[in-house]
Structure 1
Amino acid sequence: MAGFFGFFDYTKPGPGVPENEPPKSKFIVFFEVLARKFWKLCWLNILYFLVSLPILILLYFIIGNYIAPIIQSATKGAGNVKDIQSLQGFLMTAFGLTLLSGFMVFGIGPTTAGFTYIVRNFAREEHAWVTSDFFEHTKKNLKEGIISFITDLLVLWIFSVAIRFYSVQSLKYPSVGIIKYFLVFTLFIYFMMHIYIYPMMVTYNLKVRHIYKNAFIFTILKLPHTIGMFLLLATVWLLPFLLLFVTRFIPVLLLYPLIWVSIIGLAQNFYTNYIFGIYLNPQKENKEQLESQENTELSSDKDDDSHSKDSV
């Protein structure tokens, strides 16, 4: 006898989905997927962090050259030498881990491609093997990921040098400030393009220049939506960092290597799946719409038949 007096019988079919039930909103589906895939997302986040550790260490030393002087000047006169060193270590840890997690979201090459493939499938409610698919699609996108990462480093370096140069020049020549603000706006557009770059890399067989071109087109075409999504992702990204300064509980930063990057990636790919479905997969969208219309018509026909039978 299956189960125990009819209880705990997992061989019985479930109640299923009602025919006329309206589709759930993406917001609700996101939290359902997050709850259902929580532990897989945790493992994906940890795997992504560990495999990317050599790149993250390199980035930490690069970032340190920019952060350390700022922290040292900001903490002057904060107390005795021991207190200042303790505060500087705390701030370097907090800023360093937060910025490194931001790079993981922004993109750090082939490992980001492997990570994105998994969260893209989860956002589509499709199956993915976390470990094997991560390494498989890291290898598949090795060349594109390396080119994208090198491009990002060059762009960030060039823009940081140019913005600092024109910031100094604007003190002497205020009209030069226009160039500085234009560069900041351009860099902001470049940041927002990364919402689309890696999802497009793992979804379509495109060259890197075409990926960047399409990402720029999507950013401009859907600018209000892209800005909104970018600000939402940035807010979620900064929450553990802000929580640290409220609670002074430094282990809260462990959210970044444990789960937080996966949550952000899942939200990002829910959005990009929707955008790609409209503009790059129109046949799929039309097919789904036709299927939903046919289901509605069939259900209405069934209702008409039932009414006619009742009246006989």
Structure 2
Amino acid sequence: MGIFSQNFNRPGPGVPKNAPKKKGIARYFEMLFRDFSTLWKASMLLSICMIPMLVVIFLLFAPLFDYFVSGNVASLLPLSMILIFILLIGVSGMLLGPALCACHSVILKIVRDEPGFFWHDFKKAWRSCWKQSYLISAVFSMLIALDFVSLCLFFGGSHQNATDGLTSTLLLGCIVLSLVIFFGVWFISCLQIVFMNIPTAGVLKNSLLLLFGRLPRMVPATLIHIVFLLACFLWMPLAPIILLIGVPGLIMLWTDMLAWPPMDEVFKLEEQLKELREKELSGEKSSISD
């Protein structure tokens, strides 16, 4: 039609019915642009639940960061205060656990191209996951906080040549390895809690096996989380801005995109979810016919 025609809604070529899904970075940006509002809302709710932990982290790591940078021993907190702050991080981690599971539930629906209603899905996941997630998150948040304290003490001590040689290299390697293991097991545990109803010991065992059994995907997903946390630590004044613009949701989208295929491959989750939906639909139809 001409430029002055009344019909300005000429249909485009569309997408072929059997067109393959995009992969990699193209797939990520497709989901990002399509569901950015959902990701931002999930990120905001997660950030609100993180506020108690962020306050404790700032009180603990502000002095440690000075020691990390300058090696000034006078800036260190007493050991008793450090342990109290780590315990408070664990207490605040109880609130973070259900929020993480609820966010993963919402974001995994985006990854799986399953339609959903944000508030309903978030509340449903929170209610179903909080009993198992709060204790796991409390323990792992304390362990990860201990690792970050160890890193600060290690690099702060290096300014005074308190650590050197092979011993320091092995010590740093152990700290980094434990950080990867703790974070990876916590991350994979949250994903399992969303979809699977198994005891906590089984969740932790499966998480450890998945972390090392599916290294090409699980370790990069874990490292993305760790790099994000390190960036927030090194540029602490910018952390509130990072949270406000919804960066946690963008990070979780990428890590869930990496972690979902191996989890589905191992546990056949998509098949189980499909069977569950069919049972629900058949139940609704039978109730309507009655």
Give your verdict on TM over 0.5. Answer: yes
Q: Which of these residues, 26, 33, 36, is aligned with residue 34 of structure 2?
A: 36
Q: Which residue of 2 aligns with 1:200?
A: 192
**Shift, 1:147, TM fit:** 0.6
Amino acid at match of 1:33: M
Which of 258, 268, 274 is the matching residue for 2:245? 258
CA contact (8 A) 1:42 1:259 kept: yes
Q: 2:49, 2:96 within 8 Å by CA — same for their partners in 1?
A: no
Instruction: Tell me how far 1:142 sits from its aligned partner.
Output: 1.3
In structure 1, how many angstroms separate the alpha carbons of the residues matched to 2:108 and 2:57?
Answer: 26
Deviates more, 1:142-151 or 1:276-285: 276-285
> Alpha carbons of 1:221 and 1:205: their partners in 2 closer, same or farther (altered >3 Å)?
same
SS at 1:46 equivalent: helix
Alignment correspondent of 1:136:
124
Residue deviations 1:133-169 (CA, integer Å, cap 9, x gap): 323322321122211122114434666788869x99x
Q: Cα deviation per residue 1:204-228 (whole Å; 9 max; x = unaligned)?
A: 1122222111110011112243333
1:257 alignment partner AA = L
Which amino acid counterpart does residue 123 of structure 2 have in structure 1?
A: F
1:186 aligns with 2:178: yes
Structure 1 residues 153 and 194 mapped into 2: Cα distance closer, same or farther (>3 Å)?
A: closer
- Which of 49, 52, 57 is equivalent to 1:51? 49
Distance in 2 of aligned mates of 1:160 and 1:239: 13
Q: Distance in 1 between matches of 2:263 and 2:25?
A: 18
Which residue identity lines up with residue 38 of structure 2 in the other structure? K
Distance 1:138 1:225 in 2: 26
Give the equivalent residue in structure 1 for 2:215.
223
* Cα deviation digits, residues 229-269 of structure 1 (max 9, x gap): 33445456667888x79xxxx76861333211000101111
Contact persistence 1:123–1:269 (CA under 8 A): yes
1:75-154 matches, within 5 Å, as 108-154=96-142
What residue in structure 2 maps to residue 209 of structure 1? Answer: 201
Identify which of 275, 278, 296 aligns with 2:265.
278
SS at match of 1:109: helix
- Of stretches 14-23 and 124-133 in structure 1, the one that deviates more from structure 2 is 14-23
Percent identity, please: 18
CA distance in 2, matches of 1:258, 1:175: 42
Q: If you compute each CA radius of gyration, which structure gives the higher value, 1 or 2?
A: 1
Q: Give the structure 1 partner of residue 84 of structure 2.
A: none
Q: Cα gap change, 1:109/1:218 in structure 2, threshold over 3 Å: closer, same or farther? A: same
**Residues 44, 131 of structure 1: 8 Å contact kept:** no
Question: 5+ unaligned residues in a row in structure 1: which ranges?
Answer: 77-99, 288-312
The two structures have a TM-score, normalised by structure 1, of 0.62
Higher alpha-carbon deviation: 140-149 or 61-70? 61-70
Q: Note the alpha carbon deviations across 1:244-298, whole angstroms, 9 max, x for none.
A: 79xxxx768613332110001011111122111211117839x9xxxxxxxxxxx
